[in-house]
Amino acid sequence: MNWKLFKKMGFYLIAAMLIVGCSEEDVNEPLENNSEKPGQVTDIIVENLAGKAKLSYTLPKDQDLLYIKADYVLENGREMNVKSSYYNSSMILEGFSGNSEVEISVTTVNRSEVESDPVRITVAPNLAPIYDVYESLEVSPAFGGIYVSADNPEREDIAILVMEQDEYGDWVTLGNSVYTSTNEVKSTLRGMDTINKKFAIAVRDRWLNYTDTLFAEIKPLFEEAIPKSGYRGVRLPNDAPFHPSTSLEGLWNGNIMDWPQIYLTEGTYTASNHILTFDMGVQAKLSRIVIWDYPEYFNGRSYYYLACMKRFRIYGSDVLETSGDLSKWTLLGEYEEVKPSGLPYGQQTNEDYQTANAGFSWDIPIEMPRVRYIRIENLENWAGGRQFAIGELQAYGNSQ
């Protein structure tokens, strides 16, 4: 190797090591070295919101201002620290129950991590959204459990805690309590005996604020899974043709998502809305039908996409009406699938995925008659068309 070239490479190597060494030593140092306290924010305006407070203010003129910080303690004792960039002239403080006034300490911080003297203000947020959720809360008997409904218009992350008493008389939270951020809470907690039981229900937010407790005594209705061994496919004149790789038997073979162990209608069929028909093998007073959508191969596996049903109807009859005329069938319900997150088409959160992967449970009104034959009419899929794909389904009710 050329000696001059070797020396030059050695020089660059030593220089690089010195630079890296200096960088590692300085990485935790303040960006600047200014020990003078920055100015305070001024002209603070407080806007009290539901469980929140918005602070608007005028920033000081300091050239090395880095961020604004608010420190406060929630009504439940939790310490909070909120930071906002010097690019902003406002910040949102969250976590309040809304039951009292709370003192806030607002400081500015410069690039040397030196804080200003605090400005102390008081906020009085309105009641947190969980209290409106609690006021709308309704609990009623359901097949195999209890039905819980509530409005959550702010789409807050909430837990509706359903409790029952243990052998010592203490209230314990059920593992299948409701955890959601959807705007309309409609949930059935199942797996319960058909005996009178006392329940306690409270609403909690992610800052561990709790509402009062609602007490109720409810007797769940008897429910069984209608055995899939009795299911049979039926073809009526206006049923949509199915994709040749799939069959109606794919709806009850126990496989919820693997191609081609599903049911998919033929996309080229345009004569009418796509419909399928099947025989449960027994007459039953239905409580619900659980449908597992087929997750398309997009961004991994995606629900709420392409041929997944978005709007559809379920019909029933105690005898097989062979003309296919839907006016001669009983409309058991019209349904619309809602993505919990509300994200645009083609996007989903983990909650969205887990909700669909667990199967959507479509309740049948309790006043509906006993039926044996079922028809599903797709009105619109998530792509806006008529074709639909279902991975699996299971009917529930009382066949006794």
CATH number (domain holding residue 200): 2.60.40.730
Q: Is the domain of 158 the same as that of 287?
A: no
Structure-block tokens of residue 31: 């960006």
- For residue 378, pLDDT over 70 is answered with yes
When divided into structural domains, the chain yields a total of 3
Mean pLDDT of 206-214: 97
* Residue 25 in domain: no
323, with CB counted inside 10 A (0-12, 13-18, 19+), is exposed
pLDDT tens, position by position, 8-49: 555 454 444 544 444 444 445 555 688 899 999 999 999 999
The Cα–Cα gap between 73 and 397 comes to 50
Q: Is the domain of 271 the same as that of 391?
A: yes
Question: 302 to each of 98, 290, 346, how far by Cα in Å?
Answer: 39, 19, 8
Residue 260, preceding peptide bond in cis (omega within 30° of 0): yes
| Domain assignment of residue 391, given as a range | 224-398
Report which of residues 164 and 14 the model is more confident about. 164
How much is the pLDDT for 190? 87
The Cα–Cα gap between 328 and 322 comes to 10
Which stretches within 109-190 are classed as H helix? 129-136
Q: Is the domain of 202 the same as that of 167?
A: yes
Q: Is the domain of 107 the same as that of 156?
A: no
* Residue 162 in domain: yes
Which stretches of 63-182 are assigned E, i.e. beta strand?
A: 65-73, 79-85, 90-94, 102-110, 119-123, 138-142, 145-151, 158-165, 171-173, 178-180
Q: Is the domain of 306 the same as that of 372?
A: yes
Q: Is the domain of 191 the same as that of 239?
A: no
Q: Is the domain of 168 the same as that of 307?
A: no
Q: Is the domain of 275 the same as that of 152?
A: no
Q: Which residues on adjacent β-strands are paired with residue 48?
A: 53
- In the chain, % helix, strand, coil (3-state, to 5) comes to 10, 45, 45
CATH number (domain holding residue 330): 2.60.120.260
The pLDDT-based confidence of 130 (bands split at 50, 70, 90) is very high
- For residue 124, pLDDT over 90 is answered with yes
**Of all helices (H) and strands (E), which one includes residue 355?**
helix 350-357
* Residue 360 in domain: yes
Q: Is the domain of 247 the same as that of 393?
A: yes
Q: Is the domain of 153 the same as that of 249?
A: no
Q: Is the domain of 230 the same as that of 369?
A: yes
Average pLDDT of every residue of the chain: 92
How much is the pLDDT for 24? 44
Question: 99 to each of 13, 131, 276, 281, how far by Cα in Å?
Answer: 64, 11, 54, 57
How much is the pLDDT for 5? 44
Structure-block tokens of residue 190: 């199942």
* Residue 11 in domain: no
Q: For strand 52-58 and strand 90-94, is the pairing parallel, antiparallel, or unpaired?
A: antiparallel
The Cα–Cα gap between 339 and 50 comes to 25
Instruction: Specify the DSSP class assigned to residue 242.
Output: B
Domain boundary at 123, 157, 181, which?
A: 123
* Residue 31 in domain: no
The Cα–Cα gap between 4 and 2 comes to 6
* Residue 23 in domain: no
**R_g over Cα of the chain:** 30
Domain boundary at 203, 218, 233, which?
A: 218
Q: Is the domain of 79 the same as that of 207?
A: no
* Residue 275 in domain: yes
Structure-block tokens of residue 330: 């009983």
Contacts of residue 289, Cβ cutoff 8 Å, sequence gap at least 6: 314, 361, 362, 364, 374, 393, 394, 395, 396
How much is the pLDDT for 366? 85
Domain boundary at 95, 123, 151, which?
A: 123
Mean pLDDT of 200-227: 96
pTM: 0.66
Placement of tokens 């200014």 in the chain: 34
* Residue 117 in domain: yes
How much is the pLDDT for 28? 52
How much is the pLDDT for 236? 98
CB atoms within 10 A of CB 118: 15
CATH number (domain holding residue 48): 2.60.40.10
Mean pLDDT of 66-91: 97
